[in-house]
Every structure is written in C-alpha cells, then in structure tokens.
Structure 1
Amino acid sequence: MVWHKLRVLGATVALGSLLALGGGAVAQDVLTVEEMRIAAGQSLKAGKSAQAEALAQALLGRDRNDLTALLIRGRALRDLGRLTEARQMMRRAWRLSNNVADKYAAALITAQVLSSQGKRTRAQLWLRRAAQHAPNDALRARAERDFGYVKQQNPWKTDLTFTFAPNSNINNGSARDRSRLNYAISEILFGEPIEYDLTAEAQAIAGIEIGGAVRSRYRFHQTPDTAHDAKFALSYRTFSITDDLGDSDVSGSDFAFGSASLGYGYRRFVLDKKGEFAADVEAGQSWYGGNRYASFLRTQVQQSLYLSPRQQLRFGGEAERQWGQATSDRDLIGLSASITQAFASGNSGFAGLYLTSTQSPDANIEYSEVRLRTGLALRKPVMGAQIQFGLGASWREYDVSRDSRDGRQDKRIFADVTATFKDIDYYGFNPALTLSASRTNSNVGLYDVNRVGLSIGIKSAF
C-alpha cells in the first residue's frame, strides 16, 4: 500500500513538473526510487521546499532509514520554518551517516537548522564537524565560510585555552644560591652587608604547568557602529614539581594561581570604520596557593587605526586598583602603543612600547617599567608549521628596596618562538608549540631569574 502511494505521488509530481514547464509530453506513470530522490533534490534546489518535503516524506514512508530522503526533508523543513521537525530528521540522518560525504551533509544541514533556531554556538560546533568530514577542499572552505558567518551573528563568543608547559622556574625563584640580607638589619647587627644562603624554595624550581582558561562574552546590544558586551573570565593553573627538593614539603599546588572576573565591554567604529575604540571594565578576585590573594578593579581603553590596508596602529591605557588579602594594596597605571605591518613578502611584523607605574602603601613594591616587544610572523610554512617569533626587553626601577640602599633595578630580556602545525587539523584546531626563554639581571641577587619553558596548546584554524 505504501509503495503504491509512492508511485502515485511520484507520477503526480512528475506530471505537474512537466505541465509547469509547458511540455506536451505525457509523464511516465511510475518514478523509481532514485528518480524520486532526484526529483526531491531538484525541487529543493529550485526553492520548492513543500514539494521537496512531500517527496522526501513519501520516500521515508517506504524506508524510514533512507538517508538521502532524511537529508532532503530536514533541509526542506528548515526552509519551511518547521525547525523542531527538521532537527529530529537531522538527528536520525547523523546516526545513519557512515562515510565522510554523508557526515558532511548531515553536519552542514544540522548547523543550518540550529542557526535558524538561534542556537549559534551549537551551530558552530556542527560546522567544525562538517569541516572535519569535508570530502574535498572546496566543501571544507564552504564550512569555514559558514562558520565565519555564524560566528559574526552569534552574541556569544567563548575562547578556551589549555596549558601543558614544562618550565625551568615555576616559582619565579632566584637563579642564584646566595643573596644579601636586608641592608638595614645587616648594618644594625653586623655593621656591613651580609650574604646568606637561599633556601631551596627561594631558588628556581623546575616543574610542569598545567592549566586552563575560559573567556566568554555576550553581546547584549549592537548597532552598525557600536557593541555592548557582558564578559566573564575564569583561569587556573597549578604545577607538578620535577626537581628533587630533598626533605622539603613544598608541593606544586603551593604556587597554584587562579582568578575569576566579570566585566563590561564597549566597542565603537570611528573614522569611517578605519578605526575602533574599545573600553573595558573588569572586577575580579585572584587566589594563590589555594588562598585569597587580591581583589581587583581594572579599566582599559584602546584605539586602533588602519593607516593603510597593511598597517595598523594601536594605542591605549589601563588603570588597576588592587585590594590585597595576601599581598599589599596597589594602584597601577599603564600606557601602550603598537604597530602591525604586513609586508609585500606576506610576512607581518609587530612592535610595541609599554609604560607602567605602580603606587602602594608598601614602598618596596612600587616600581616604574618600560617594556619593548617586537614580533615577526612568517607567511611560508617551515617544515609544515607556521612560525612566529617574539623578542623583547624591559627595564624596571624600584626606588625603595629593603635589600639595597640604592633601590632595585631589574633588566629583563625575553624571546619566544611559536610553531602552529597547520597540516595537523582536528575539528578545525591545530596543535601549537611555544618555546620561551627569559633572563632577569638585578642588582639584588634574590631577583636574578632565568626561565625556559615549552608550552603545548591548540589554536583555531578558522
């Protein structure tokens, strides 16, 4: 009986199509299953969603596991606005998909249905699935293009980072094994500077950093030129010690650090959209070693400006108030300026200048700092990896130090190289390795610090 209805419906649709085209030929009285699939697909392509849905439903009456019919009906129902039914079709279609072409089609249509339902974050996940199962580069490019469109429409934006990083100095310990005693105490007790041996805990400890962070924003209001965001951030990192510390009871969790914050962000295009003004306010709490460390309120403003299609200038400022629980209160003010340049070779360069000044009731933690940073990103892969280099230096001045009558001066140099392996792709993510090294020379031996680290992470490919 079902197959008879399918034959009649097929004949009716075929005859209707011929008459609509003005043909004088007489339609055949029977369509094969394959011909009906073709007719349903052509109806869908021509924008005749109701007709495509009817044909697909007839095919499913014959075989409820007809994957092609499920895909066609799911897409037709989506076009007709019957989104709940469309989602049901696509759940079945995904379960029945057993090759990359079927999985790609099912994932792509599922993403379209979810996007139409306003579930754009889930739609982005399904578009990553589509990209993963794309049968060729052209279809993958379509999934990536659709991902970019949905991402722009999505009021939610979430960035996840994970860290697994062997590090030669997880505690920011001294590179020396001796330092000078507090100069005031030393002069009172001994009449001259006295050196002492640093404990194992005060020296650099090697270990592995393990951590993660999530930053999310919800764009609750937007116009063609402005945007208003509610923001949330959460981060945590802990350590596993690899050094042999003898009888010491120090553990990696003693250096664990976490923070949580809520904030508001404002964006506005300016100068005929050649630039963007951004302002952010963020309040939060940090923890160190499992205990409350400090509460903070931070404000940042930044202006970007495209001087040319290849050159972008950024400058901004920040102010932060810190209320310490396990540290002193502190106020920080910072200014920054940077430029990014794309070269004719396809490489791109970066240079930035950062100025920071702090004030505190504890004069020993007040400092002024100048920091320079440069970077270079290569267009051509090196052994299959996209390479980015960074290099910088900073000068930090403490007017007052309990360890030196002349205050404290720290000079730091640092460098890093990041390799992103584009040839290794899983659901639109590439593995990345960052090798970093830094050296701080101070007039106070306790603050001489050397560090080498290797960080393993992932980056989005699109």
Structure 2
Amino acid sequence: MRQLIPSLRGAALVLALVPVLAADLGVGAVRAADAAETLTLSIADSRALAVQSLQDGKPGLTAALARGLLQRDPGDIDALMLLGWAEVALQHPDQARTAAVRAFALAKGNPRLRFAAARLAAKSAYEAGQLTRAGFWLRRASDAASSPEEQAEAVAGYRNITAQNRWANRFSFALAPSSNINGGSQDQRLTIDGQPTGALLSPDALALSGLEATLDVSTSYRIASGPQHLTSLGLRAFGATYALSDAARRLTEATGTKGSDFAFGALEVSLRQQRQAAGNGQWNYGLTAGKTWYGGSPMSRYGRLDLARSFALGAAAQAQVSGALEQGYSERDDSRTLLASLQGQVVRRLAGGGTLALVLGVSGTDSTSRRAEYRSINAAVSYALGQPVGPAEVTLGLAAAARHYPQTFTGSLFGDGPRQDNRLTATVEMVLPQAAVMGFAPSITFSAGHNWSNVSRFEQQDIGVAFGLKSTF
C-alpha cells in the first residue's frame, strides 16, 4: 500500500529544521523518565534528544520528552508535533490527531507549520482507518501549502486517499440571479402559430425574475472492487428553491405567488458498476430509482437504466457513447412516460493546452399523456482555454436543441396541434483557483438563453449569473 505521509524519520528531520524560539534556548529544564533512568536536560537538549529518539525508533522516549516540554509550555508547537509523530509510531492515532489539531490551531500565521500539522492530522486519521477525515485534513494541508511542491504533495495524498476510500462524497452549491426563474413566457397574450387566441396568461406563467439557490449532495459506497471492476451504491439529494425579486412580487401580488411555489427537489438511490473493457476504455452500468417534488408536493417517481462505453481515440482524445431508458410515473395525473436517450461525446486536448468537447444527443418519450410526448435532438460544444485570463480559468459553451411535441393541445380549447421549440444557450464559466479554500475554488457562470416556440407560452428568454464552488482536485 502506498504511503500517505513520508516516513517518521523524514518528518523528524523536517521538525529538526524548525527554528527554536530564542526564549527557549538553554532556559529551564525538562525531566524525562525512560525505564528506570531519570535525566535532567535543558530545553534545547530535550528537543534535540526527542528528535534523535524519533529517528532512532524510540517513540516512547520522544513522547515522554514532548510531554515534559508541554508541561512547561502547552503552546509549544514543536513539542506537539513531536508528540504527534511519536503517538503515530506508538499506534495511538487518536492521541496523535489531538496533538496535530492543537498544533494546527496554534500555528496561525505560519503556513509551513500549519501544512506540517495538517499532514500529521491526515496521517493519524489514515492510521485509524478514517479515510474521509484524512482527506479532509489533506484538503486543509493544500490550503496551507506555501510552495508548488507542498501543494502537489497534498493533492497527490488526497488522490491516493480517494482511490482507497470506499466512501466518495460530492457536493455543489450555487446562487444564481436570473431574469426568468420559472421558465415563464415573455408575452401575456397567448398566440399559436402567430395567431392570437384571445387568452391571457396568468401572472405566474410570465417570466419572473429572482434568485435561484441550488444544492446537490451525493454519497456512494464501494461494495465490491477488483483490478477490472468497481461496484458501488449511491444516494443523491438535489434541491432548488427561489426568491422572487421585488418586481416579480408586484407582478404576482394578486395571485399570492411565492418563490417556493417553483421549488424542485429530487432524491434517488443507485447501483453502479464500472468494468474494464477489452482493448481500452471501460463499461459503465447503472440502475437508479428516484422521486421528485415540485412546489413542495410530490411530482413523480422514476426508474432508470444507464449504459455507457468510453474509449480512447489516440493519445489526446477520449470518446463516450451512452444511452438510458427511464420509466416515469406522475404523482399528479397517474400518467406514465417512457424516456429513451442516446448521446455521444468526444473530448480532445489541444496543442495549446486547451480542451475541446463536442456532444450530440437524441431523445424521445412515449407517454399515456399525449402532451408529454416529444422527440428531441441536441448538440453542444465547449472550449476550455489553455491559458488563464488574468486570475480566471475560462470555459466557453454553446448548446442548441430542437424539440417537437406532436400533439401538445389534445383536449384543450385550442384543438389539436403540434408544438415546436428551438433553444440556444451560451455560457461563460470562470473559475478562480488562486482564491480556492481547501481545494474548492469560487466559480462564476454567465448564461444567456432563448427558446423559440410556435406557442407563445413557451417563448422564453433568460439571462443569469451563477456563483458556486468547484473542486480543483
């Protein structure tokens, strides 16, 4: 098994290089008991002997000397570090972590000591089998890194931990002011194929501006793995809620509409497997069951089967073909909808350091509710610039989609008729890695989209900016 932290000898040598405060040199004495022998040492000699004992494989003596130093000065960071590494060697990871956490808290303003203390805390958690906690402390170590070498060391340790950890946890959070949080229409007058119907849309069906807040949390547990496969159980929770702007509240005052009326939530459980494919690449299989809510009320239940095949296209490109079948059950009208989708993606690293991604997909539904039936084709391209623009890593995106509903108005006052939607969306994402905290960098995404439809209710325009966090490793 790869070592998460360098050897104790290496750690002790690093500690020996930490300057000793002038006030400590030759002042006072420390009494340390080792077996039947009692020694009286100066502070400087105690430190030197503690380091030498750790190097010589005598962690018990190091721990005794460190405790003596801490009796004299509970805020002695060097002594806490020596005690922590000694406790690791003595296989006392909980005591080691306690010393490391104290040292980390006391080392404010000293990035080098905070980095060393965070690594010690990660090592102690690792020795205790607490891999998620070890990963947390390696993220803190990356935050304290004062050189590219220290940063690379923390990131490499974190990735090693992630590969060993049966648990994998992910989250994302974003706040997004938007001109159209509810997917509302631009025009209150309802027209179909350019012809007025004489009907007026209710205020809550119009485009309402406001603030969107989203949270996406997932966890998975690896239940089986081997050289050629990995199987995991997963749980995911997603939520989006909204706050109306003052203008939107005035517009909907008569209907009493609230931002939470458009809130959406989803909870799902999944079983997934990755399996190495013959030649190159891998297969990915997934079974998912979930439930959704809208406006605080149950919306639908669904089950989904996913299948994907990824493979290399030379040394600089990767491709993936994926498909899915999803059976949905409406909680509102008892309708059933089967969704089928197929998608292809190619990602290529360019000579200048940038990355170009192309996506093409098709999807369609078969439903007992004729209004829910559609056929769709979509395409997207994104380009991650090879060099930062000022402090930001920039990715540009453009997506287009065409969707055809054969019988949108079946049973309505307006007779039977198809609906055709065409949508175009442009995005600019900016990530600020230099402002990262524990490996999470702030991100800003500007977006603008327009949906053209022969039914004016679905003629939509939205402009927004989303503020979020993105992991840098």
Q: TM-score range by the shorter chain?
A: 0.7 to 0.9
Structure 2 counterpart of 1:237, which letter?
A: A
* Distance in 2 separating the partners of 1:258 and 1:320: 18
**Corresponding residue to 1:198 among 201, 216, 238:** 201
Q: Where does 1:60-459 land on structure 2 (aligned, <5 Å)?
A: 60-64=67-71, 65=74, 66-98=76-108, 99-180=110-191, 194-242=197-245, 243=248, 244-245=250-251, 246-272=253-279, 274-326=280-332, 328-402=335-409, 403=414, 405-459=416-470
* Distance in 2 separating the partners of 1:93 and 1:388: 40
* Distance in 2 separating the partners of 1:372 and 1:63: 64
Structure 2 counterpart of 1:150, which letter?
A: I
Which structure: larger Rg? 1
TM-score between the two structures when normalised by the length of structure 2: 0.85
Give 3-state SS (helix, strand or coil) of 1:201's partner. Answer: helix
> Over residues 197-246 of structure 1, what are the superposed CA-to-partner deviations in whole Å (9 max), with x where a residue is unaligned?
22221111111101211011111211111111010001111111112314
* Distance in 2 separating the partners of 1:160 and 1:82: 32
> Over residues 35-89 of structure 1, what are the superposed CA-to-partner deviations in whole Å (9 max), with x where a residue is unaligned?
4434433554x4x43x144134224224333432321232232133232332343
Structure 1 counterpart of 2:441, which letter?
A: N
Q: Give the gaps of 5 or more residues in structure 1.
A: 14-28, 184-191
* Distance in 2 separating the partners of 1:345 and 1:366: 44
Asked if the contact 2:62/2:82 (under 8 Å) is kept, the reply is: no
Structure 2 counterpart of 1:257, which letter?
A: F
- Give 1:181 shift: 7.6
> Over residues 170-210 of structure 1, what are the superposed CA-to-partner deviations in whole Å (9 max), with x where a residue is unaligned?
11111222114899xxxxxxxx9733222221111111101
Asked if the contact 1:169/1:206 (under 8 Å) is kept, the reply is: yes
Structure 2 counterpart of 1:144, which letter?
A: V
* Distance in 1 separating the partners of 2:379 and 2:62: 66
> Over residues 141-196 of structure 1, what are the superposed CA-to-partner deviations in whole Å (9 max), with x where a residue is unaligned?
2222211111111111111111210111111111222114899xxxxxxxx97332
Structure 1 counterpart of 2:307, which letter?
A: V
* Distance in 1 separating the partners of 2:317 and 2:192: 51
- Give 1:247 shift: 2.6
**% identical aligned pairs:** 28
* Distance in 1 separating the partners of 2:171 and 2:114: 26
Structure 1 counterpart of 2:284, which letter?
A: A
Q: Please tell me the root mean square deviation across aligned C-alpha atoms, in Å.
A: 2.5
Q: 1:142 to 1:193 in 2, by over 3 A?
A: closer
Give 3-state SS (helix, strand or coil) of 2:163's partner. Answer: helix
- Give 1:264 shift: 0.6
Aligned equivalent of 1:16? none
TM-score between the two structures when normalised by the length of structure 1: 0.87
Structure 2 counterpart of 1:137, which letter?
A: P
Using the TM superposition, name which of 87-96 and 229-238 deviates more. Answer: 87-96
* Distance in 2 separating the partners of 1:404 and 1:306: 51
> Over residues 292-316 of structure 1, what are the superposed CA-to-partner deviations in whole Å (9 max), with x where a residue is unaligned?
0001111111111012221000001
Q: Give the gaps of 5 or more residues in structure 2.
A: 1-27
Structure 2 counterpart of 1:340, which letter?
A: V
Q: Where does 1:7-22 land on structure 2 (aligned, <5 Å)?
A: none
Give 3-state SS (helix, strand or coil) of 1:308's partner. Answer: coil
Using the TM superposition, name which of 69-78 and 234-243 deviates more. Answer: 69-78
The count of corresponding residues between Structure 1 and Structure 2 is 432
Give 3-state SS (helix, strand or coil) of 1:77's partner. Answer: helix
Q: 1:168 to 1:80 in 2, by over 3 A?
A: same
* Distance in 1 separating the partners of 2:274 and 2:30: 62
- Give 1:90 shift: 2.7
Give 3-state SS (helix, strand or coil) of 2:156's partner. Answer: helix
Q: 1:181 to 1:414 in 2, by over 3 A?
A: closer
Structure 2 counterpart of 1:241, which letter?
A: L
> Over residues 379-419 of structure 1, what are the superposed CA-to-partner deviations in whole Å (9 max), with x where a residue is unaligned?
21112100001111111111112157441111111111100
Q: 1:389 to 1:193 in 2, by over 3 A?
A: closer
Give 3-state SS (helix, strand or coil) of 1:176's partner. Answer: coil
Using the TM superposition, name which of 347-356 and 77-86 deviates more. Answer: 77-86
Asked if the contact 2:63/2:87 (under 8 Å) is kept, the reply is: no
Q: 1:94 to 1:57 in 2, by over 3 A?
A: farther
Give 3-state SS (helix, strand or coil) of 2:435's partner. Answer: coil
Give 3-state SS (helix, strand or coil) of 1:280's partner. Answer: strand
- Give 1:4 shift: 7.2
Aligned equivalent of 2:6? none
Give 3-state SS (helix, strand or coil) of 1:316's partner. Answer: strand
* Distance in 2 separating the partners of 1:357 and 1:137: 49
